[in-house]
Amino acid sequence: MAEENITTSTDLYAQSIDFVEQFNGSVQKLLQIMGITRLTPMSVGSQIKIYSNKVTKGSKVAEGETIPLSKVERKLSTTLELAFDKYRKQVTAEAIQSSGFQAAVTDTDSKLLREVQKDIKQKFLDFVATGSTTATGTNFQSTIGNVLGQLAVKWEDDDIQSVAFVNPIDFYAYLGGADITVQTGFGLQYIQNFMGFNTVILTSYQKQGTVAATASENINYAYASAAGALGQAFTLTTDETGLIGITHSPKTENASYETLVIDAGVLFPERLDGIVVGTIGSGSSTTTSTTHA
């Protein structure tokens, strides 16, 4: 007869399934918040190319003179290589004995999940900060207006869903004591249909004193499946998408319990010049280009 309250392999599989469902549910929520429709499976090692446009305008000429050419160049800004991110966590027998399995393993798995989400957000917002179309304003409200205006020019020929990224300190300093409904998803706070944007995302990853915005159509999510041969080799639990894989295993050599998480998901903008970055408190509006993305 099995010992009472023993944790079985069935329990561990259910725990792994719950982890996968939490992650996939949060990714789907993130895509929904940003209005992203493109979720692209790729192979590990695949290259992701991010471009921007450079416009060189011809000079003005007098009547009858030959008109010089203007030039639009599509330049490669950066190249990513899709790679697996690997996370490993161990808890000791002593931690399990003193705190219980739930607190020592399951609860710390949830904290590890937040770190995986944090890495995805950080990488994407690092790209957002390098957007090549700029705007400035004398205060938060004028900067928002100038960013929205430049975004409208940039995507004039497209029916877009606009997404803005704002530092919470800047946002609440502007808002003051006004009551507003803020929602949460993927560890992000966001407001829908606010200040002219379809979605405003509040995140500390956006540098204070700046605002960034783009079209959701400019954002992609690429991933390499953690299922298949990889899943078999490491006994990973995944769902049919393979967005993330997880396995749990006891380690007898040091009396600990290990969690291994593998994923290869990355959010990235297709065009850096399709992102408008605004600076608060720098004067009147300026822009690098009005070429449409």
Q: What pLDDT, in 10s, does the model give residues 70-94?
A: 776 778 888 989 999 999 999 999 9
Question: Residue 105 domain-assigned?
Answer: yes
Is the CB of residue 281 less than 8 Å from the CB of residue 140?
Answer: no
| Amino acid (1-letter code) at residue 79 | T
Per the model's pLDDT, the better-predicted residue between 62 and 142 turns out to be: 142
* Residues above pLDDT 90, as percent of the chain: 63
pLDDT tens digits, 151-167: 999 998 888 999 999 99
CATH of the domain at 259: 3.30.2400
Number of compact structural domains in the chain: 2
> pLDDT band at 4, cuts 50/70/90?
very low
CA angle 162, 167, 172 (to 5 degrees): 100
CA angle 227, 270, 80 (to 5 degrees): 55
Question: Residue 290 domain-assigned?
Answer: no
Question: To the nearest 5 percent, what fractions of the chain are helix, strand and coil?
Answer: 35, 35, 35
What was the pLDDT predicted at 117? Answer: 92
Record the pTM.
0.81
Q: What dihedral do alpha carbons 193, 195, 201, 204 form, nearest 10°?
A: -160
What was the pLDDT predicted at 39? Answer: 83
71 beta partners = 56
Q: What DSSP character marks residue 4?
A: T
Average pLDDT rounded to a whole number, residues 193-208: 94
Per the model's pLDDT, the better-predicted residue between 17 and 285 turns out to be: 17
Tell whether 46 and 90 lie within a shared domain.
yes
Average pLDDT rounded to a whole number, residues 39-53: 88
CATH of the domain at 183: 3.30.2320.10
- Choose among 126, 134, 175, 164: nearest CA to 282: 134
Tell whether 46 and 147 lie within a shared domain.
no
Question: Residue 287 domain-assigned?
Answer: no
pLDDT tens digits, 77-136: 889 899 999 999 999 999 999 988 888 988 999 999 999 999 999 999 998 998 989 999
Is the CB of residue 28 less than 8 Å from the CB of residue 185?
Answer: no
Tell whether 110 and 186 lie within a shared domain.
no
DSSP 49-69: EEEEEEEEPPPP--TTSPPPP
N- to C-terminal Cα separation, the chain: 68
The token pair that represents 105 in the structure block? 């393993």
Query: By residue range, what is the domain housing residue 240?
Result: 9-55+72-127+221-269
Question: Residue 63 domain-assigned?
Answer: no
What was the pLDDT predicted at 287? Answer: 44
Tell whether 147 and 235 lie within a shared domain.
no
Separation in Å, CA 6 to CA 3, 141, 201, 228: 6, 58, 44, 31
Q: Which residue has the tokens 């027998």?
A: 93
